[in-house]
Amino acid sequence: MKYGFFDGSNKEYVIERPDTPVPWINYLGVENYCGLISNTAGGYSFYKDPKLRRITRYRYNNVPVDRPGRYIYIRNNGTGDFWSPTWQPACKSPDKYECRHGLSYTRISYSYKKTDTQILYFVPLGDNCEIWRMKIKNSSERAGQFDIFAYVEFCLWEAQREMVDWDHAVTKFKNNAIYNVTQYPQRGVTGFCSYLWSSQPVVSWDGFRDSFIGKYHSETNPIAVENGCCNNVHACGWSACGALHNKIELEPGEEKSVTFILGYAENDDNENKVFDKYANPENITRAFNQLKDYWADVLSHYCVTSPDEQLNQMVNIWNQYQVCTTFNWSRTASYYEEGIGRGMGFRDSCQDTQGFVYQIPSKVRQRLIDLFSTQFSNGRVAHQYSPLTKQGFEPNEGDGRLWQASDDHLWMALAVDDYIKETGDLDFLNQPIPFSDGSASSLYEHLKRAIIYTWNQTGHYGLPKIKTVDWNDCLKINLFSDKDMAVSVMVAEQFVLSARITANLARLCNHSNDAAEILQMAQEMMDRINNHAWDGKWYVRAFDNQGVPLGSSKEKYGRIWLNSQVWAVISGVAQPDRAIQCMDSVYENLFTKYGVALFKPAYPSWDIKVGSLSTYPPGVKENGSIFCHTNPWAIIAECILGRGNRAYEYYKANLPCCANDVAEIRCAEPYIYAQTIKSDEHRDFGQASNSWLTGAASWNFKAASQYILGIQPDYDGLKIDPCIPSHFKSLSVTRKFREALINIQIENPHCLNKGVKSLLVNGNKIEGNTLPGKYSKKTVNVTANII
Which residues carry out catalysis? 473
- Binding positions for ligand GLC, 40-99, rule CB under 6 A: none
Q: Could you tell me which stretch among 1-9, 212-220, 467-475, 555-563 binds ligand GLC (CB under 6 A)?
A: 467-475
Q: By C-beta, is 209 or 629 nearer to ligand GLC?
A: 629
Instruction: Indicate the burial class of 74 (C-beta count within 10 angstroms; 0-12, 13-18, 19 or more).
Output: buried
Using CB under 6 A as the binding criterion, the count of chain residues that bind ligand GLC stands at 13
Residue pair 521/500 in contact by the 8 Å Cβ criterion:
no
Contact set for ligand GLC, span 529-548 (CB under 6 A) = none
Region from 113-121, 468-476, 539-547, 743-751 binding ligand GLC, contact rule CB under 6 A: 468-476
The H or E element containing residue 779 is strand 779-786
- In terms of CB distance, is 149 or 356 closer to ligand GLC? 356
To the nearest whole angstrom, how small is the minimum distance from the Cβ of residue 104 to ligand GLC? 23
Spatial distance between the Cα atoms of 562 and 545, rounded to a whole number of angstroms? 22
In whole angstroms, give the CA distance from residue 596 to residue 634.
Answer: 8
For residue 713, whether the previous peptide bond is cis, meaning omega lies within 30 degrees of 0, is: no
Q: Which sign, positive or negative, has the C-alpha torsion 531, 536, 542, 547?
A: negative
* C-beta closer to ligand GLC: residue 346 or 435: 346
User: How far apart (Å, rounded) are the C-alpha atoms in residues 344 and 145?
Assistant: 48
595: region left, alpha or beta (phi > 0 left; psi from -120 to 50 alpha)? left
Smallest distance, ligand GLC to C-beta of residue 456, A: 23
The reply on whether position 473 binds ligand GLC by CB under 6 A is: yes
In the bound state with ligand GLC, the residue whose beta carbon lies nearer, of 162 and 348, is: 348
Q: How far is the CB of 677 from ligand GLC (least distance, A)?
A: 13
Helices (H), 157-280: 209-213, 223-227, 271-279
Q: Are strands 177-180 and 105-112 parallel, antiparallel or unpaired?
A: unpaired
Nearer to ligand GLC, 471 or 692 (CB): 471
User: Smaller CB distance to ligand GLC: residue 331 or 600?
Assistant: 331
Of residues 689-748, those binding ligand GLC (CB under 6 A):
694-695
CB of 412 within 8 A of CB of 484? no
HEC per residue, 609-641: CCHHHHHCCCCECCECCEECCCHHHHHHHHHHC
Q: How far is the CB of 613 from ligand GLC (least distance, A)?
A: 8
Q: Smallest distance, Å, CB 614 to ligand GLC?
A: 14
Binding residue for ligand GLC (CB under 6 A) from 94, 345, 595, 773? 345
Among residues 630, 633, 597, 635, the alpha carbon closest in space to that of 616 is found at 597
User: Distance of alpha carbon 74 from its chain centroid, rounded?
Assistant: 34
Interacting span for ligand GLC (CB under 6 A) from 34-42, 311-319, 362-370, 472-480: 472-480
- Shortest separation between residue 612's beta carbon and ligand GLC, angstroms: 10
Give residue number: closest CB to ligand GLC.
Answer: 473
- Part in contact with ligand GLC (CB under 6 A); list of ranges 30-38, 300-308, 345-353, 752-760: 345-353
Residue 540 beta carbon to ligand GLC: minimum distance, rounded to whole angstroms: 19
Site string for ligand GLC, 129-158 (x = CB under 6 A): ------------------------------
Residue 675 CB, nearest approach to ligand GLC (Å)? 5
Stretch that binds ligand GLC, among 117-125, 248-256, 465-473, 520-528 (CB under 6 A): 465-473
By CB under 6 A, what part of segment 551-610 binds ligand GLC? none
Least Å distance, CB 621 to ligand GLC, is 8
**Cβ(518)–Cβ(503) below 8 Å:** yes
Closest approach, Cβ 342 to ligand GLC, in A, equals: 8
Strand arrangement, sheet containing 240-250:
82-83, 71-76, 144-152, 240-250, 204-208
Over the window 660 to 699, marking each residue x when it contacts ligand GLC by CB under 6 A and - when it does not, the resulting string is ---------------x------------------xx----
Nearest to 636 by CA among 733, 562, 689, 730: 562
User: Cα–Cα distance between 31 and 18 in angstroms, integer?
Assistant: 29
Stretch in the footprint of ligand GLC (CB under 6 A) among 301-309, 362-370, 466-474, 478-486: 466-474
CB 405 within 8 A of CB 493: no
Q: Is residue 601 reached through a cis peptide bond, with omega within 30 degrees of 0 on the bond before it?
A: yes
| Alpha-carbon gap, residue 559 to 299, rounded angstroms | 42
Over the window 490 to 529, marking each residue x when it contacts ligand GLC by CB under 6 A and - when it does not, the resulting string is: ----------------------------------------
Residues of this chain, 3-42, that bind ligand GLC according to CB under 6 A: none
Residue 348 beta carbon to ligand GLC: minimum distance, rounded to whole angstroms: 5
For residue 332, the minimal CB distance to ligand GLC (Å) is: 10
Nearer to ligand GLC, 299 or 474 (CB): 474
State how far the Cα of 389 lies from the Cα of 381, in Å rounded to an integer.
16
- 725 touches 786 (CB < 8 A): no
Which listed range, 63-71, 119-127, 341-349, 753-761, lies at the site for ligand GLC (CB under 6 A)? 341-349
Residue 629 Cβ, how far from ligand GLC at the closest point, in Å? 6
Q: Which is nearer to ligand GLC, 180 or 565 (CB)?
A: 565
Q: Which is nearer to ligand GLC, 318 or 471 (CB)?
A: 471
CA pair distance 542, 611, nearest whole angstrom: 13
For 71, the enclosing helix (H) or strand (E) is: strand 71-76
Q: Please identify which residue in 71, 83, 471, 692 interacts with ligand GLC, judged by CB under 6 A.
A: 471
Start-end of H helices in 300-409: 309-313, 319-329, 346-356, 361-372
- Site track for ligand GLC across 611-640, x = CB under 6 A: -----------x------x-----------
Q: How far separated are the first and last CA of the chain, in Å rounded? A: 42
Whichever of 67 and 629 has its CB closer to ligand GLC, that residue is 629
Question: Rounded to the nearest 5 degrees, what angle is found at the Cα of 89, between the Cα atoms of 87 and 91?
Answer: 45
Question: Binding residue for ligand GLC (CB under 6 A) from 209, 331, 409, 446?
Answer: 331
Strands of 522-622, DSSP E? 542-543, 549-550, 560-561, 591-592, 595-596, 599-600
- CA distances to 106, 168, 169, 190, 304 from 238, rounded to whole Å, are 32, 7, 5, 18, 53
Q: Mention every residue, 6+ apart, whose C-beta is less than 8 A from residue 174.
A: none
Distances in Å between the alpha carbon of 736 and those of 33, 413, 713? 28, 24, 11
When the beta carbons of 425 and 473 are compared against ligand GLC, the nearer one is: 473
Which value, to the nearest 10 degrees, does the dihedral of the CA atoms of residues 338, 342, 346, 350 take?
10
Nearer to ligand GLC, 168 or 331 (CB): 331
Does the protein bind ligand GLC through residue 347 (CB under 6 A)? Answer: yes
Nearer of residues 348 and 535 to ligand GLC, judged by Cβ: 348
Residues that bind ligand GLC (CB under 6 A): 331, 345, 347-348, 471-474, 622, 629, 675, 694-695
